[in-house]
Structure 1
Amino acid sequence: MQVVDPHIHLWDLKTHHYPWLANPGTSFVGDARGLKHDYLIGDLLRDAEPVQVLKLVHVDANHDPADPVEETRWLQHVADNEGHGMPNAIVAGADLSASADKVHEVLEGHAAFANTRGIRQILNVHANPLYDYVGRHYMREPQWRQNFALLKKYSLSFDLQLYPSQMNEAVALAQEHPDTQFIVNHAGMFVDRSSVEGFRAWRDGLRALAACPNVAVKISGLAMFDHQWSVESFRPYVLETIDAFGCDRSMFASNFPVDRLFATYEGLWNAYASIVEDLSGTEKHALFISNAERIYRI
């Protein structure tokens, strides 16, 4: 099987600081103590065997917020010297709520590296502390929204990590910035699974986002919410997401090594392949390879 994986993370704990890995704990995602070890390009490629990984997109690993550009500098060095070009694209971290001058400085720093393609700032806010990541509604903050417009200046996409309850606000943001490519992370992170209302919020939110032509989606991270997953437990979420966005704006991804807590690399990709086995060869090529190449410009 050949894939382009548009959502992986690497970290070198010997040389870089990741606050969340300094004293990891447990959450709905799992026991992060199992991730407190170096995870380098060689580790990823060994985990991937026998899947043939053609290209990789690295998404920010919550590196030290005091120096977000250092992560990009390191990843570019990896691509140039160790990874045979991988990661082929870098989605860097940036705090868009900072002063305009600081945001300019950080975005300019990221954009100076050849493989930089986009920015991710985690937006997940939830009333349940178990699920809350950031504790504030960035999309409602005028300073954040003003700085968001700077992404266009640097030709950067935006990886949109949020919950269904935030999707309507994200639709307004995508409509306000039609020239910026948005990529929904982890199929919209459907966490409120115990009610019809929760399912409806996720389903309708996906379709509202999909109505924006500048929004795509990554089907990934499903094991974070389904630790005892199976092909059949994944199936409705995969098919619902593809139904919303179509095969031309959906792409599969591994979210390794986070999903490594609950799955093998080969197991995840085989599950995806099984779920879409009835699609045409062209559609499957789009989901596994060409959409990621086009959307991340690699």
Structure 2
Amino acid sequence: MNNAKRRGAPPHHFIDDAWLALRDEPVLDPERPIVDPHHHLWDRPHHRYLLPEILADLNTGHHVRGTVFAECSSMYRADGDPRFACVGEVEFVNGIAAMSASGVYGPVRVAAGIVGKVDLTLGAFAEDVLRACMERAPDRFRGIRHMAAWDASPEVSTLLRPPPHDLLLNPAFREGHSVLGRLGLSFDAWVYHPQLPQLIELIDANPHTPVVLNHLGGRAGLGPYAGRQDEVFKQWKASILALAERPNVTVKLGGIGMRLGGFDFHERDLPPTSEELAEAWGPYVHTCIEAFGTSRAMFESNFPVDKSCCSYRVLWNTFKRLASGFSESEKADLFAGSAVRSYRLPPELAQPAPRQP
């Protein structure tokens, strides 16, 4: 398989650094504080993304003040009760966050918030596992993501360990989900757009649990959804508008650099410019902002997954282009404020870093 076919193809780990290096842009609005509310950390056979790698991306010109880690089944415990294996990921990320918080690696605070994974199909027992996660990272653990993204098409459903069909309707899952709000934790939702009505049902069953919708609601443009752009957009938009009516829901604006979106950027000879990405992604991003408002919407990198499409510098230039028509206070929400509120992060992360003497 040539590199063009490998970029962003399952399992989404191949980064074509030589291709990305063909595109460079000056940083737009370089002083604007950014809190990146969605990235991963892992050490896998074919790809490593740990503190040195994410710092290399964060330090490419944008003023990133802090980040939130999103679960990716990384560093689970090999020993002990398998129901608590996921606690290992929280321990692992909390260690990296402590390294970053030392200041040795610069002013950015990597993993200032941690979104882990707990199997909610454990039902009431999920509370024990959630409390174990809270104990391991009391200053940073903010909630969990139990991915429910499932589709009958193998072109769409590309997770290494796909969830069962109709997971969100599972009574045990719903029982586990009900624990989150009581513990003051949030739920990150990763589904494909045909599943959004099921997510709405889940939210209505537990209206006191904060929900963060990942990746613009998972609009798919591959497989059975290819060539049906207008129909898919209409269906997706109806669900986005319905979700926005639920005040406990916020939305992450990103994750659209994956092949799932059906764009062809990965296979081009040159990486896309921020202008090209802003034009292609604009209808989806602006629909979500119009529905949720800037106070409940936040730009996200989804790195390193979306790095298969563009560099960190180009990605945040894209977001800055998409936000160019908003007021200063609205931009402050989109780039940092909404993330700080959603994940209960230190408020100073939404402010510019103090100048060095």
Instruction: Bin the TM-score by the shorter chain.
Output: 0.7 to 0.9
1:41 pairs with 2:58: no
1:80 pairs with 2:105: no
Q: Quote the Cα distance in structure 2 between the aligned partners of 1:198 and 1:115.
A: 37
* Amino acid aligned to 1:185: N
Is the Cα contact below 8 Å between 2:73 and 2:89 reproduced in 1? no
1:286 pairs with 2:333: yes
Structure 1: 5+ residue stretches without partners: 14-21, 23-35
Q: Quote the Cα distance in structure 1 between the aligned partners of 2:332 and 2:69.
A: 21
* Amino acid aligned to 1:108: R
TM-score w.r.t. length of structure 2: 0.74
Q: What is the match of residue 256 of structure 2?
A: 222
Q: CA deviation at 1:135?
A: 3.4
Q: CA deviation at 1:81?
A: 2.5
Q: What is the match of residue 59 of structure 1?
A: 70
Q: Quote the Cα distance in structure 1 between the aligned partners of 2:116 and 2:304.
A: 17
Q: Quote the Cα distance in structure 2 between the aligned partners of 1:81 and 1:170.
A: 36
* Amino acid aligned to 1:105: D
1:132-157 residue CA offsets vs partner (Å, 9 max, x unmatched): 23232111111111111111232110
Q: What is the match of residue 116 of structure 1?
A: 141
TM-score w.r.t. length of structure 1: 0.88
Give the secondary structure class of the aligned counterpart of 2:48. Answer: coil
Give the secondary structure class of the aligned counterpart of 2:153. Answer: coil
1:100 to 124, 129, 134: 124
Q: Quote the Cα distance in structure 2 between the aligned partners of 1:116 and 1:275.
A: 31
Give the stretch that moved more between structures: 179-188 or 106-115: 106-115
Q: CA deviation at 1:262?
A: 1.1
1:245 to 283, 292, 298: 292
Q: Quote the Cα distance in structure 1 between the aligned partners of 2:205 and 2:248.
A: 11
Q: Quote the Cα distance in structure 2 between the aligned partners of 1:72 and 1:7.
A: 15
1:256 pairs with 2:303: yes
Q: Quote the Cα distance in structure 1 between the aligned partners of 2:169 and 2:89.
A: 28
Q: CA deviation at 1:83?
A: 4.7
Q: Which has the higher contact order (CA 8 A, sep 6+)?
A: 2
Q: Quote the Cα distance in structure 2 between the aligned partners of 1:181 and 1:227.
A: 34
1:145 to 171, 174, 180: 174
1:4 pairs with 2:35: yes
* Structure number, greater radius of gyration: 2
2:153 to 116, 128, 146: 128
* Amino acid aligned to 1:11: W
Q: Quote the Cα distance in structure 1 between the aligned partners of 2:310 and 2:101.
A: 24
Give the secondary structure class of the aligned counterpart of 2:49. Answer: coil
Q: CA deviation at 1:194?
A: 2.7
Q: CA deviation at 1:198?
A: 1.4
Q: CA deviation at 1:176?
A: 2.1
Is the Cα contact below 8 Å between 1:124 and 1:163 reproduced in 2? yes
Change (3 A) 1:227 1:45: farther
Q: What is the match of residue 322 of structure 2?
A: 275
1:185-233 residue CA offsets vs partner (Å, 9 max, x unmatched): 0001110353233111110010111110000000111110235152211
Is the Cα contact below 8 Å between 2:86 and 2:118 reproduced in 1? yes
Is the Cα contact below 8 Å between 1:68 and 1:93 reproduced in 2? yes
Percent sequence identity is 32
How many residue pairs get aligned? The number is 276
Give the secondary structure class of the aligned counterpart of 1:45. Answer: helix
Structure 2: 5+ residue stretches without partners: 1-29, 103-108, 266-271, 346-357
Give the secondary structure class of the aligned counterpart of 1:173. Answer: helix
Q: What is the match of residue 209 of structure 2?
A: 180
Q: CA deviation at 1:127?
A: 2.1
Change (3 A) 1:73 1:273: same
* Amino acid aligned to 1:73: E
Change (3 A) 1:241 1:193: farther
Q: Quote the Cα distance in structure 2 between the aligned partners of 1:227 and 1:293.
A: 33
Is the Cα contact below 8 Å between 1:193 and 1:199 reproduced in 2? no
1:194 to 220, 223, 227: 227
1:153-179 residue CA offsets vs partner (Å, 9 max, x unmatched): 321100011122111121122122222
